Amino acid sequence: MNRPLPLDTGHDGRADLAAVMQEVARGDKEAFATLYDALAPMVFGIVLKVLRDRAQSEEVAQEVMIDLWRQAARYRPEAGSVTTWAATIAHRRAVDRVRSAQAAADREQALAARERVPAFDEVAEQVETRLESEQVRRCLRGLTELQRQAVTLAYYGGLTYREVAEALRTPLPTIKTRMRDGLIRLRDCMGVTT
């Protein structure tokens, strides 16, 4: 038969929660009600101090009290008081909630950063392409006629050195030299650094 457990109060005014915890470990619901009344305000205070959000603190404090019910058999009086044990569980649970919330926020932020599409300014892109094209044409005009023809056939016509040499009826070594010199001049004119 379950009977209400009066809290024995010692000389220091604190209830003997260790005896109550033993009854909770045996599944005594009335003992748990006594334990709940004794510890819930303290547990809530600890959790609220860590989380600083009343709604979340109420939820976590409730989870801590359920943990105390489920883990009552694991309590060992020689390891510390019931109050200390409950306070430790409450603090750990609250810190876990903070870490979990931070990890979720970090994941959301990383996902948002990956999904962010840089703004594309089509007009600016067209202007930049046009300016680069004009610069290439201006730099090509600074080459000798043979250099300009060789580079144009190779890069715009897609011809190999040998095909350029045949198209221009010029020896292959001469084409290679003219293209190399022409490309160096183009690089310098365009301001490209290697």
| Each residue's pLDDT tens digit, 33-90 | 999 999 999 999 999 999 999 999 999 999 999 999 999 999 998 888 999 999 999 9
Cα(51)–Cα(94) distance, integer angstroms: 6
Residue pLDDT, tens place only, 109-139: 888 877 776 666 777 777 788 888 888 888 8
Q: Which pLDDT belongs to residue 125?
A: 79
Q: How confident is the model at residue 21 (pLDDT cuts 50, 70, 90)?
A: very high
* Separation between Cα atoms, residue 55 and residue 36, nearest integer Å: 19
Model-wide pTM > 0.85: no
